[in-house]
């Protein structure tokens, strides 16, 4: 498996501000993903972070709200822009690695509270 | 898209009891994983099991792909087993993109 480090692990932010979450992997990976987990809910895929091109967003998520960077094969950032209390969630970075099949591995998550 | 249903939504056990968690999915998939989310939010990989049976210590899992369900068995439960168990499914051609069920929240009481 890979070691996936996310920063920050938690933050409390004022509404209207933006927060950038970093995800660092200890090996080169082709596929990186960002998920959101709202309080008491399951995980929902926000977007696929593509190296060298724009991210691919899932229905209901837009680039203006969740801009993503992927400058190389080991690093990605997710920005949560113009935050409101509804953005309070855990944000998780994920990578896909091939072992027996294609398996997803997750960072420890960033717990965001917007006040 | 694929629908993933997990049952039961909540489960309370006494330490030492056994349990079975179920995951039903609406379409044929070739990628299925079970995760445990601990109280700190960390997702821990338990099994990659698109078909067949696997065991790891007190945990085992079985997926019957033709009938579109998977089962996670926990034997001799411990308080450290508490947390949320998620089933996630997908396709290897869509590598890494997973659809998660709503999870089963397990509470093991001492």
Domain spans of chain A? 4-114
CA distance A24 to A39: 25
Q: In the predicted model, is pLDDT for residue B106 greater than 90?
A: yes
Token pair listed for B38:
């601990």
- Give me the pLDDT at residue B95, please: 63
| A4-114, CATH topology level | Immunoglobulin-like (2.60.40)
To the nearest whole Å, the CA of A68 is away from the closest chain B CA by: 17
Neighbours of B11 (CB within 10 A): 18
- Give me the pLDDT at residue B40, please: 86
- Tell me the per-residue pLDDT of B68-95, one tens digit each, with 9 for 90 and over: 999 999 999 999 999 999 999 988 776 6
Strand order in the sheet with A68-72: A4-7, A19-25, A75-80, A68-72
Cα distance between the two ends of chain A:
36
CA distance A17 to B19: 45
Domains and CATH numbers, chain B: 4-109 (2.60.40.10)
Looking at the complex, does the CB of residue B97 fall below 8 Å from at least one CB of chain A? yes
CA distance A67 to A88: 17
**What is the pLDDT confidence band of residue B29, given thresholds at 50, 70 and 90?**
confident
Neighbours of B57 (CB within 10 A): 7
Which of B39 and A23 is assigned the larger pLDDT?
A23
- Give me the pLDDT at residue B59, please: 98
**What is the pLDDT confidence band of residue B50, given thresholds at 50, 70 and 90?**
very high
For chain B, the average pLDDT equals: 94
- Tell me the per-residue pLDDT of B6-20, one tens digit each, with 9 for 90 and over: 999 999 999 999 999
- Give me the pLDDT at residue B97, please: 86
A80: enclosing H helix or E strand? strand A75-80
Q: What is the DSSP letter of A40?
A: T
Parallel, antiparallel, or unpaired: how do β-strands A10-13 and A110-114 relate? Answer: parallel
Average pLDDT over residues B39-60: 95
Residue A1 with chain B: CB contacts under 8 Å: 45
CA distance A76 to A20: 10
Are B43 and A111 in contact (CB < 8 Å)?
no
Residue B95 with chain A: CB contacts under 8 Å: 30-31, 96, 98, 102
To the nearest whole Å, the CA of A113 is away from the closest chain B CA by: 14
Token pair listed for B17:
């009891």
Residue B50 with chain A: CB contacts under 8 Å: 101
CA distance B65 to B79: 31
pLDDT tens, chain A, 115 aa long: 789 999 999 999 999 999 999 999 999 998 899 999 999 999 999 999 988 888 999 999 999 999 999 999 999 999 999 999 999 999 999 998 888 888 899 999 999 999 9
- Give me the pLDDT at residue B35, please: 97
């Amino acid at each position: 498996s890979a070691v996936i480090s996310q920063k920050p692990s938690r933050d409390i932010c004022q509404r209207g501000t933006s927060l950038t979450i970093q995800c660092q992997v200890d090996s080169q990976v082709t596929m990186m993903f960002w998920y959101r987990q709202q309080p008491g809910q399951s995980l929902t895929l926000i977007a696929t972070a593509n190296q060298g091109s724009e991210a691919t967003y899932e229905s209901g998520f837009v680039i203006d709200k969740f801009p993503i960077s992927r400058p190389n094969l080991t690093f990605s950032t997710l920005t949560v822009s113009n935050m409101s209390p509804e953005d309070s969630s855990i944000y998780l970075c994920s990578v896909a690695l091939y072992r027996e099949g294609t398996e997803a591995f997750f960072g420890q998550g960033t717990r965001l509270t917007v006040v | 898209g694929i629908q993933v249903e997990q049952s039961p939504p909540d489960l309370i056990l006494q330490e030492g009891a056994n349990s079975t968690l179920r995951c039903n999915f609406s379409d044929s998939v070739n990628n299925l994983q079970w995760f445990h989310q601990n109280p700190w939010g960390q997702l821990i990989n338990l099994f990659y099991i698109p078909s067949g049976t696997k065991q790891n210590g007190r945990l085992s899992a079985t997926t019957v792909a033709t009938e579109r369900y998977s089962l996670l068995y926990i034997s001799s439960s411990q308080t450290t087993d508490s947390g949320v168990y998620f089933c996630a499914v997908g396709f290897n051609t869509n590598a890494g993109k997973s659809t998660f069920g709503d999870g089963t929240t397990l509470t093991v009481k001492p």
